[in-house]
Amino acid sequence: MPAPTRLTITVGSDSAARDIAVEQRAGAAPGIFWLGGFRSDMAGSKAMALDALGAEQGYAVTRFDYSGHGVSGGDFDLGTISRWLEEAEAVFALTTGPQIIVGSSMGGWIALLLARALLRRGEMRLHGMVLIAPAADMTRELMLPEFTPEEHESLQNLGYVDQPSQYSDTPYRITRALIEDGERHLLFGGVIETGCPVVILQGGKDPDVPQAQAIKLTTHMLHDPVTLTLIPDGDHRLSREEDLVRLRDAVVRLAEG
């Protein structure tokens, strides 16, 4: 199969303009649309497993890096859910036909927000959705409760908190702008609709997004068929070979359903 096509699109205008790197593999519908997590990129193991699946099975695959991530332009410290959702919508507009959205961690939240935006526009192109350890409402649900008093003070006085991460040698910076903007996009408290079947893959030993978060999400999805698969020994990334097999299988089942 030919290699994916690489392109760059500009999202935003004037001082908010940023160049977003996209890779698209030509193929049949339903296409696969990848949404990565916080500080991840489109060259990670799950994203590349989906690209390989597209090459093997003939599915179209679209991957991209949010601004401040991977090889895209823009400053990570300016990143907010609004900003990254705007980029997801712009890249989704490059696709045609029905799509299966696959969102990992923060990408799961953005996937749900993207689905809501599409439904509001009457754009019924979602064939299915796979959410991997979905971090819906993560700024309120998962970040704020973990801050120490000193970190809350830093957030207010400096505008950011630097937290060590097991996934990086450098701390993850969480900005006050990200936290405050997250309040504009909260999903819990009302019915969450996607307009398509949803599969949730959740690790039982996930230290970042506890399984209770995935269960809570399913209780808010009242109108769409939802399958929650709990992987008892699974971590947050779910990137082991057996996890990637589960991911591929979930996408294929949705594609053929």
Phi, psi of 119 (to 5 degrees): -65, -40
Which domains occur in the chain, in start order?
5-136+193-256 (3.40.50.1820)
Burial-class residue 82 by CB neighbours within 10 Å (0-12, 13-18, 19+): middle
C-alpha span between 105 and 40 (Å, rounded): 10
pTM, rounded to two decimals: 0.96
Per-residue CA distances from 152 to 69, 155, 222 (Å): 25, 5, 35
Report yes or no: 177 and 99 within 8 Å, Cβ to Cβ. Answer: no
Q: How many residues comprise the chain? A: 257
Residue 1's pLDDT is 64
C-alpha span between 36 and 21 (Å, rounded): 13
Residue 80's pLDDT is 98
Residue 102's pLDDT is 98
Helix 106-120 to helix 81-92 angle, to the nearest 10 degrees? Answer: 60
Amino acid at 241: E
pLDDT tens track, the chain, 257 positions: 688 999 999 999 999 999 999 999 999 999 999 999 999 999 999 999 999 999 999 999 999 999 999 999 999 999 999 999 999 999 999 999 999 999 999 999 999 999 999 999 999 999 999 999 999 999 999 999 999 999 999 999 999 999 888 877 888 899 999 999 999 999 998 999 999 999 999 999 999 999 999 999 999 999 999 999 999 999 999 999 999 999 999 999 999 98
Q: Which residues pair with 161 in a beta bridge?
A: 174
List strand residue ranges (DSSP E) for the chain, in order.
5-11, 18-25, 28-35, 59-64, 99-104, 126-132, 160-165, 168-175, 198-203, 226-231
Report which of 22, 4, 7, 47 is spatially closest to residue 237, judged by C-alpha positions.
47
Amino acid at 216: K
Residue 164's pLDDT is 83
Amino acid at 86: E
